[in-house]
Structure 1
């Protein structure tokens, strides 16, 4: 299948969660043998208009990120690529609507990948136009899908395709048993890691060790808070870890805590659950994390640091696992198949128009 990815940004120009998701999807499709073309702002040197890297053919629509100029030049490059399906990101929304106009002339469908629950870089009217015109709108969670529907996408055209993990890595990795509990996420303004630290402080008279995985502008404050709470001798800040280093830490731990106030998809929590951790989620209106643990034997929902501390104690009676095959459906291959099925469904449905 020939897929045109329309995203002005790549991780080289804007390293954000939504762009990283696009990169993972594109790389997975290319690895499976699909013909993937990424239409973007040029992020490489020289006068080469397009080149291939890791199976993805990158096409320079503009010399640098410029939303208006990208939109004006996009139709020419998209027609030249001549795809079977267009995979467009929702930010900025005008790029998706321009892609749809061109795709209509090419008689191919547009699948819109909508990562953010509350996206910026565009007006509500622009997002509504993007949501209603796309042939399919894909969200990473039901929480985001609800927001997409509020922007006008229909129940029929909006569906969920989650993030994915490497179950082979989960099964094969050794366990690093230095820690009893783990918290893992970017330490940014939405991290809310203080809730986890407050819960640990409630348990300072018990025997435990904890790891905080991730880095960002909130790290210094979190380290000071741990010291102020007199638990810094048992809390290790590990910084950013790649998957190969993160998985052993999860496999050796018993509890993973999720407290972020905003999370379109809780990828760290998914890895932890697959690694056998008990997932304890502090419910937040802006986070989809609760979706992964609702109805799960090894999952808990709480609403405060005190409840989080209580559940950490209560979960001590559960057996320790290093793998949970109940999450095999989130494996990279399985989720990639969902994307391909979505494209094929969109192509078939488009053919009836």
Structure 2
């Protein structure tokens, strides 16, 4: 099969969950003889078109800053410019592809892919990582209505939609995609690679890994750790973001401040895995997770995972019975953390659950979905 992915950012030149998903699925399909092309921005050195791990990377737009504002919001202008730039190049090469797979966020590339395929029979498969709905008020403030309109419009254009979780699939149907079936194809992990990663020489009993933004609720974790962790336990915070300074100030004021370390952003993904392999408990009180990939990675690494029990988070369906959930408050997370540090185990072995999300399995499911779109047997 000849698959064209449309994504303004491309792994490994820009890190992130959506582009890593494309990379992992794309490389596996390429290894199995499928023709894979990714249309994106020119974030790599050298010519605009290169071959990388068996895939063709085709730059249709120059490198551009992705984030803007003090809170690190994604740039609307960047998304619009990329959408504008991809329409004609994709249209000109459309006959080279059997299916176009567009990563939904930041929405405009999906609409651009629709323009590229007007009058053609090439199907468009969309990958929905989240459906934001009311979150637009928090993200865009006065411009929230604009975000809601674009999200709703994107959901209603002709497409074959894939959601990464049942939570997102249900929300997508309510948004207006009920006219066609929504398939769930989860995100994944390289299970064998995680198993082979050695633990960090200097690890922590409790670990968090993620972007330091409000939704991740790291402030709750800090307070819960201060309440529930024994005096000899340690907490490592991996990641960076606009809330880092405030979180470090909060940590310094805690009685357990000497037990808490901020590691910052780790350039190498393997270094994050090493920390997970060394940790006993992984905690993410995040209240907005369209999937929850760090929870799966932590389970594969052998951690006991504690996630947030929240209607905007899909972590509960990802972790299932292989971890614990708590209301996202310090009062509720603290006793769960305390019990986990004392050795309480979930009813399902975490690594057994994590293996269900191996990228090999995910790539097979994705290929089935792409084939169904091409044959109109969705």
After TM superposition, the score normalised by the length of structure 2 is 0.79
Which of 207, 211, 216 is the matching residue for 1:191?
Answer: 216
Whether contact under 8 Å (2:100, 2:125) holds in the other structure is yes
In structure 2, what is the equivalent of residue 300 of structure 1?
Answer: 325
Could you say what secondary structure the match of 1:236 adopts? strand
C-alpha RMSD over aligned residues: 3.2
State how far apart, in whole Å, the 2-side matches of 1:13 and 1:124 are.
30
Asked if structure 1 preserves the Cα contact closer than 8 Å seen for 2:114 and 2:124, the reply is yes
Which residue does the alignment assign to 1:67? 80
How far apart, in 2, do the equivalents of 1:278 and 1:171 lie? Answer: 15
Q: CA deviation at 1:311?
A: 1.1
Residue in 1 aligned with 2:114? Answer: 100
Residues 123-158 of structure 1: per-residue CA shift (max 9 Å, x gap) = 544433432334311122222223322221127521
In 1, the alpha carbon distance for the partners of 2:116 and 2:161 equals 18
* CA shift for structure 1 position 186: 1.3
On the 8 A contact 2:6/2:101 being kept in 1, the answer is yes
Q: 1:265 to 1:155 in 2, by over 3 A?
A: farther
Question: Compared with structure 1, are the counterparts of its residues 269 and 12 closer, same or farther at alpha carbon in structure 2 (3 Å cutoff)?
Answer: closer
TM-score between the two structures when normalised by the length of structure 1:
0.84
- Over 3 Å counting, the alpha-carbon distance change for 1:195 and 1:166 in structure 2 is same
Q: How do 1:123-162 residues align onto structure 2 when only pairs under 5 Å count? A: 123-154=147-178, 156-162=180-186
**Secondary structure at the residue paired with 1:333?**
helix
> CA offset at residue 297 of structure 1?
4.6
Q: Which runs of 5+ in 1 are unaligned?
A: none
Q: Which residue in 2 is equivalent to 1:272?
A: 298
Change (3 A) 1:17 1:250: closer
Question: Aligned equivalents of 1:16 and 1:205: distance in 2?
Answer: 34
Aligned length: 349
Structure 2, gaps ≥5 residues long: 64-77
| Distance across 2 between alignment mates of 1:76 and 1:139 | 27
Residues in 1 aligned to 2:195 and 2:28: alpha-carbon distance in whole angstroms: 20
1:334 aligns with 2:335: no
